[in-house]
Copies of this chain bind each other. A is one copy, B any other.
Amino acid sequence: MSTERRTRADAERNRERVLEAARALFAERGDQVQLPEVARAAGVGVGTVYRHFPDRAALVEAAAEQRFAEIEHYARTRCLAGPAGLRRYLEHVGEVLSRDRGLSAAIEAARGTAGSEPRGEARAGLEAVVAEVVARDRAAGELRDDCTVADVYLLVGCLSAVVRTGSGDWRRFLDLALHGLLPRAD
């Protein structure tokens, strides 16, 4: 089992420090934090940041990964039982986005890098739960029959933009969007 166990001691610790610093800074000020700043906060040289993360986008994504995992956990425990699962899901995403300005950057960057959508692992897990939530709500007659996971991505992207630009109330947006997903017979 001694296949690929090379990462030694301080290397792993440095990686974790960088990630920790990145999470805190991105959450607070979003995409505008500078990498040298992250390095300073982590107490390492810039080169170390680049050793562990190929570029800025990779660090943003890695810092967001934890949030995706948290959101997935919330979805599994809170949105698969009872009514209005999708509504609860989207409201939770809105709240997390409001608290972590860096999440938007990760969500939008993923779109930017054409095609390579399924980055980090957490994303795959998330997509699976969202599919379940949609299926459940549809079966319960709470959603239009043609509502898909793609629709949810669409709305999450918009939600992210609304929160990021601070234009108006994201809850109002959700009200409109969710109303739009209702079955034909209101």
Residues of chain A at the chain B interface (Cβ within 8 Å): 108, 111-112, 114, 150-151, 153-155, 157-158, 160-162, 165-169, 172-173, 175-182, 184-186
Partner of A158, one of B158, B169, B178: B158
Expressed in whole angstroms, the Cα–Cα distance for A160 and B112 within the complex equals 14
Expressed in whole angstroms, the Cα–Cα distance for A154 and B154 within the complex equals 15
A172 cross-chain contacts in B, Cβ below 8 A: 151, 154
**Could you tell me the distance in whole angstroms from the C-beta of A154 to the nearest C-beta in chain B?**
5
CB-based contact B176/A167 at 8 Å:
no
A166 cross-chain contacts in B, Cβ below 8 A: 111, 114
Expressed in whole angstroms, the Cα–Cα distance for A155 and B161 within the complex equals 11
A157 cross-chain contacts in B, Cβ below 8 A: 161-162, 165, 167-168
A114 cross-chain contacts in B, Cβ below 8 A: 166
